[in-house]
Amino acid sequence: GVACADVYNRAMEIVAANNMEDYFMGTKQQARFVGHGMGLEINEPPVFAARTREVLKKNMAIALEPKFVLPGIGAVGVENTYIVTEKGLENITVCEEDIIELK
């Protein structure tokens, strides 16, 4: 399985490669996670953070929620829920993922 810290670190690598570190998961008070487990409560362990060594296991329900905050413009983010399978993640979110432009 994949460690939750590895998911977080990979997200941070992608953010850094695009020079977006200052905007990822907030600005002044940046959240230091990119997702969490789902269960009886909306937010449950494991937390996808730099030091979380818990390994993903088959049938776990997780939410990944990357967000960017652009000062003076606004925020953009998505939160999808997945089931961990033997072959990867199955997205069980039923909402459209297209960008909606607000005017």
Of 100, 77, 83, which Cα lies nearest the Cα of 31?
A: 77
pLDDT at 102: 75
Task: Please report the pLDDT score of residue 26 as a whole number.
Answer: 86
Instruction: Show the tokens assigned to 37.
Output: 């487990």
Tell me whether residue 60 is in a domain: yes
Distance between CA atoms of 69 and 27, rounded to whole angstroms?
6
The three-point CA angle 79-83-85 to 5° equals: 140
Report pLDDT for 16: 95
Residue 102, domain member (yes or no) = no
Helices and strands in the chain, H and E counts: 1, 7
101 within some domain: no
Distance CA 34, CA 64 (A): 6
pLDDT digit string (tens) for the chain, length 103 residues: 899 999 999 999 999 999 999 999 988 888 899 999 998 887 889 999 999 999 999 999 999 999 999 999 888 898 999 999 999 999 999 988 787 777 7
Residue-number span of the structural domain to which 50 is assigned: 4-91
Is residue 68 a contact partner of residue 18, using CB atoms and an 8 Å limit?
A: no
Pair 59, 86: CB distance under 8 Å: no
State residue 27's pLDDT score. Answer: 82
| Domain membership flag for residue 99 | no
**CATH number of the domain enclosing 78:** 3.90.230.10
Query: Domain total for the chain?
Result: 1
pLDDT of residue 62: 96
Please answer whether residues 36 and 44 qualify as being in contact, where contact means their C-beta atoms are separated by less than 8 angstroms: yes
